[in-house]
Chains A and B, each alone.
Chain A
Amino acid sequence: AQSVSQHNHHVILSEAASLELGCNYSYGGTVNLFWYVQYPGQHLQLLLKYFSGDPLVKGIKGFEAEFIKSKFSFNLRKPSVQWSDTAEYFCAVKSNNDMRFGAGTRLTVKP
């Protein structure tokens, strides 16, 4: 069955630490990949997306993600997190008309 896996349920970091959140999917064929962020009490907002071309995608607020086709992965990274990055992060994969989200990773950044 097609699925999206986010292995880290809750990540706790101190400010200025580096971040990497894992995302793996099990779709075959062509996929479009997304990372969304949900700040406390707010709706989902797009961080970045990959459709084609350079597998290293840069998004807003210093986030980037790398698509590794051979590993079916699309991990999210940020070299130095801030307290304001505390939020829930969702990986999403779209194939044809089917879009599925991972279970989400809660990031807590300690000041």
Chain B
Amino acid sequence: DTAVSQTPKYLVTQMGNDKSIKCEQNLGHDTMYWYKQDSKKFLKIMFSYNNKELIINETVPNRFSPKSPDKAHLNLHINSLELGDSAVYFCASSQVGGLMETQYFGPGTRLLVL
């Protein structure tokens, strides 16, 4: 079974649309993250959630909103998509405070805004 899964794998959409990317982890971790990887492969953390509480919120536009219905899911909702939102979005999870804390990444969602 996949540890961290994301849907969809590819997403092509028009500017101005609203879209969501889903993420699920079956590792029992208590913290989940969203990263954005741009065309230059630079990884930037966007959000992390620990027990349904936002604990990191980098300076991302408020068009991006994470939603966590339970600790196994952290969805990313994007309003009014812009061209610059085109990137690969990675979800990750970890058990914070564990002796060997490691983030496990999902396969990524490739978003293309036209």
Interface residues of chain A, those whose CB is within 8 Å of chain B, are: 32, 34, 36, 38, 42-46, 49, 51, 88, 90, 94, 97-101, 103-104, 106
Q: Per a CB cutoff under 8 Å, which of B43, B56, B104, B108 touches A90?
A: B43
**Distance between Cα atoms of A104 and B43 in the complex (Å):** 8
Count CB-based A-B contacts (< 8 Å). Answer: 48
A94 with B105: CB separation less than 8 A: no
A51 with B100: CB separation less than 8 A: yes
A43 with B56: CB separation less than 8 A: no
A104 with B99: CB separation less than 8 A: no
A97 with B96: CB separation less than 8 A: yes
B107 with A97: CB separation less than 8 A: no
A94 with B90: CB separation less than 8 A: no
**Distance between Cα atoms of A43 and B108 in the complex (Å):** 6
Q: Which B residues touch A103, using CB under 8 A?
A: 40-42
B45 within 8 A of A: yes
Q: Which A residues touch B93, using CB under 8 A?
A: none
In the complex, which residue of chain A has the Cβ closest to the Cβ of B91? A43
In the complex, which residue of chain B has the Cβ closest to the Cβ of A38? B41
A99 with B100: CB separation less than 8 A: no
Task: Knowing A49-B100, A49-B102, A51-B99, say if A100 contacts B45 (CB, 8 Å).
Answer: yes
Interface members, chain B 27-71 (any A CB < 8 Å)? 33, 35, 40-45, 48, 50, 55-56
Task: Knowing A51-B99, A97-B55, A97-B56, say if A43 contacts B105 (CB, 8 Å).
Answer: yes
Q: Which B residues touch A106, using CB under 8 A?
A: 41
Q: How far is the CB of A98 from chain B (nearest CB, A)?
A: 7
Q: Per a CB cutoff under 8 Å, which of B33, B45, B99, B107 touches A43?
A: B107
Q: Per a CB cutoff under 8 Å, which of B43, B44, B101 touches A32?
A: B101
**Distance between Cα atoms of A72 and B45 in the complex (Å):** 22
Q: Which B residues touch A43, using CB under 8 A?
A: 90, 105-108
B95 within 8 A of A: no
B103 within 8 A of A: yes
The 9 nearest A-B residue pairs measured at CB: A101-B43, A44-B105, A43-B107, A104-B41, A43-B105, A103-B42, A43-B108, A88-B41, A46-B102
